């Protein structure tokens, strides 16, 4: 889930930025520092949106940089358990698939790709034995987050597509069409039974 968050931090501005106006130097440093930044509580920083306030600078002897107490807004993505996510298959391996979620990637174990026995081919395609459904790089999919792991600064996300309404976009459309056809068939049978009972 994406969050717009206000943060207060002491920003260490490197000497190479000292020639710029303070606000511009702090903003450049923030963008540099928070690119690809991840924190368990904050999430994965997508962008520094706006610098709100910059306090007086402090220089610590022996450091050479200046520190400014700064308030700023960031856009961050923080995964939530059971959240539905949409993305593109970035990679297929013999143990599953990696789904590109935008700010990061999630892993779908081969057993969680579909309701079927799944085979891995040398052409990097996962295929269901009974359904013949295939999953390959570039496929658009909907999945659910079932595991979130934080090891140091590294985020690992486990996904599943083995629930109704999840999977490759084509599968979801096929399943919906099949279910709609079954509902229509049931309604026609009920109507026929009602008409037959009135005679």
Residue that has been written with the tokens 């709100």 in this structure: 52
Under CATH, domain 2-77 is a member of which superfamily?
RNA polymerase Rpb7-like, N-terminal domain (3.30.1490.120)
Given CATH 2.40.50.140, say whether it is the number of domain 84-178. Answer: yes
What average pLDDT does the segment 41-69 reach? 91
pLDDT digits (tens, 9 = 90+) for 65-101: 999 999 999 999 999 999 999 999 999 999 999 999 9
Please report, for the chain, the start and end positions of each structural domain, with discontinuous segments joined by +.
Answer: 2-77, 84-178
Q: Is 90 exceeded by the pLDDT of residue 27?
A: yes
% residues pLDDT > 90 (the chain): 73
What is the predicted pLDDT for the residue at 32? 92
Q: Is 80 exceeded by the pLDDT of residue 196?
A: no
What average pLDDT does the segment 109-135 reach? 93
Pick from 8-17, 99-108, 188-197: least confident:
188-197
Comparing 41 with 99, the larger pLDDT belongs to 99
What average pLDDT does the segment 9-23 reach? 92
Q: How confident is the model at residue 49 (pLDDT cuts 50, 70, 90)?
A: very high
Q: Is 70 exceeded by the pLDDT of residue 102?
A: yes
What average pLDDT does the segment 171-196 reach? 88
Residue whose C-alpha is closest to residue 83's, from 2, 176, 171? 2
Q: How confident is the model at residue 40 (pLDDT cuts 50, 70, 90)?
A: confident
Residue whose C-alpha is closest to residue 33's, from 19, 53, 62, 12? 12
Comparing 36 with 25, the larger pLDDT belongs to 25
pTM above 0.75, yes or no: yes
Q: Do domains 2-77 and 84-178 have the same CATH topology?
A: no
Q: How confident is the model at residue 39 (pLDDT cuts 50, 70, 90)?
A: confident
Q: Is 60 exceeded by the pLDDT of residue 199?
A: no
Q: How confident is the model at residue 198 (pLDDT cuts 50, 70, 90)?
A: low
């Amino acid at each position: 889930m994406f969050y717009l968050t206000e943060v207060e931090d002491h920003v260490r501005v490197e000497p190479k930025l000292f020639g710029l106006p303070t606000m511009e130097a702090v903003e450049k440093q923030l963008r540099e520092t928070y690119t690809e930044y991840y924190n368990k509580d904050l999430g994965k920083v997508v962008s520094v949106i706006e610098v709100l306030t910059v306090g007086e600078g402090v220089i610590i002897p022996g450091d050479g940089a200046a520190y400014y107490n700064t308030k700023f807004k960031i856009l961050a993505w923080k995964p939530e358990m059971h959240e539905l996510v949409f993305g593109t298959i970035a990679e297929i391996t013999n143990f599953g698939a990696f789904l590109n979620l935008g700010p990061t990637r999630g892993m779908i174990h081969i057993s969680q790709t579909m309701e079927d026995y799944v085979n891995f081919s040398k052409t990097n395609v996962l295929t269901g034995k009974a359904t013949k459904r295939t999953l390959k790089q570039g496929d658009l999919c909907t999945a659910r987050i079932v595991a979130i792991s934080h090891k140091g600064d590294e985020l690992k996300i486990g996904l599943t597509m083995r629930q109704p309404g999840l999977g490759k976009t084509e599968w979801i459309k096929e399943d919906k069409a099949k279910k709609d056809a079954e509902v229509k068939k049931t309604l026609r049978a009920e109507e026929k039974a009602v008409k037959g009972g009135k005679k």
